Amino acid sequence: MKFSVADILKVQKVEMATPLDLTRGRFYVKKAYDSENKLLNYSLAVKELITYYMARKISLISPSINIILPNESDYEEAYIVSEDLNNYGKFQTMEQLGLAREESSSLYEIWFFLEKKFASIKNKEEILELFRDIIKMYLLDIFLGNWDRLHRNWGIIFTPEKMFVAIIDNENILTDFVPNISIEFAGTKYFDTRKKLAARENNLNYYNLRRDIIKDNLKTFLKTSSYEAYQIFKEMYDVLTPEYFINLLDYIEKEEKLYTLNGIKDVKIIDKDELINCYRQNYALITDIGKELSNGRK
């Protein structure tokens, strides 16, 4: 068994994300928590697992995930156990590197920040490689509807040979909110927290709001991006199809395990149909945008 009973009892004491030394090494552990529906806590842990596989599919680093469900019938108490990214090198979030949370989260500002931060690096291809991965991250968040890509939820792994982008805390996917990172220029905030609060207060249709903002955001990206960036989008579009997504969920239920006080159990995706429907909607939206712009770019 990967995690002992003693490990599970130790994990149960965790509330906020914290490094924890378990029998098989150091992990980062956090309790899955949905403020509106505690029955979805377990679903958040499964979403972390889904994002790990999809990131790996496009060669983007995300920590491998294990799910601990102490009582297999209690979906309210679920824990996300992530591998320590420091196993690959030194991992620092963008917030730790100095990209302030209150700054506008645009691809342009991130690019300017990286150029300034790593101005002493002679091999500029290293910076370009980082930005290729940032584009993958940005697009993956659109495919998955991840609204929580704060600067503490992604960062860079430093090794003697090179640097790698890595994404963490990926449970807020396939929801009715919009991505944090946008295509807007510096000085403008594409999605404002006040707008999200106003939508909640006025009972606006979250999904329509998300569709409109993602549509404008992705359309601007596809219109203004370089040929190479556009090719990254096309490759991801061809790979991350709804058929792939459905097969991935089937694979997770067949191959992945969760750890309980009563032993190892199969992962069950309790909101599978809902996740598939949401992903299909996202993909259809992306398809419509691609068709609309197809005459201008090949």
pLDDT at 84: 94
Rank 30-34, 38-42, 46-50, 69-73 by mean pLDDT and report only the highest.
Answer: 46-50
Residue 156, pLDDT > 60, answer: yes
9-13, 50-54, 76-80, 220-224: lowest mean pLDDT where? Answer: 220-224
Q: How confident is the model at residue 219 (pLDDT cuts 50, 70, 90)?
A: confident
pLDDT at 194: 33
Contact 264, 1 (CB under 8 A): yes
Share above pLDDT 70 across residues of the chain, in percent, rounded to a whole number: 81
Q: Which of 146, 151, 157, 113 is nearest to 278 (CA)?
A: 146
Q: How confident is the model at residue 129 (pLDDT cuts 50, 70, 90)?
A: very high
Mean per-residue pLDDT of the chain: 83
Predicted model pTM:
0.86
44-94 pLDDT, tens per residue?
999 999 999 999 999 999 999 999 999 988 888 999 999 999 999 999 999
For residues 19 and 17, give the distance between their C-alpha atoms in angstroms, rounded to a whole number: 7
Query: Alpha-carbon dihedral of residues 159, 165, 168, 171, nearest 10 degrees?
Result: -160
Task: Tell me which of 122 and 254 has the higher pLDDT.
Answer: 254
Beta strands in the chain (DSSP E): 18-22, 25-31, 65-68, 79-83, 90-93, 154-158, 163-167, 257-260, 263-266
Task: Tell me which of 128 and 298 has the higher pLDDT.
Answer: 128
Can you say whether the dihedral through the CA atoms of 95, 52, 222, 134 is positive or negative?
positive
Q: What is the mean pLDDT of residues 148-167?
A: 92
Q: What is the mean pLDDT of residues 205-215?
A: 52
pLDDT at 195: 38
Task: Tell me which of 67 and 101 has the higher pLDDT.
Answer: 67
pLDDT at 100: 73
Residue 112, pLDDT > 70, answer: yes
Q: What is the mean pLDDT of residues 196-223?
A: 55
> How many Å separate Cα 239 from the centre of its chain?
17
pLDDT at 1: 58
pLDDT at 196: 37
pLDDT at 224: 82
With tokens 């090198």, the residue in question is 89
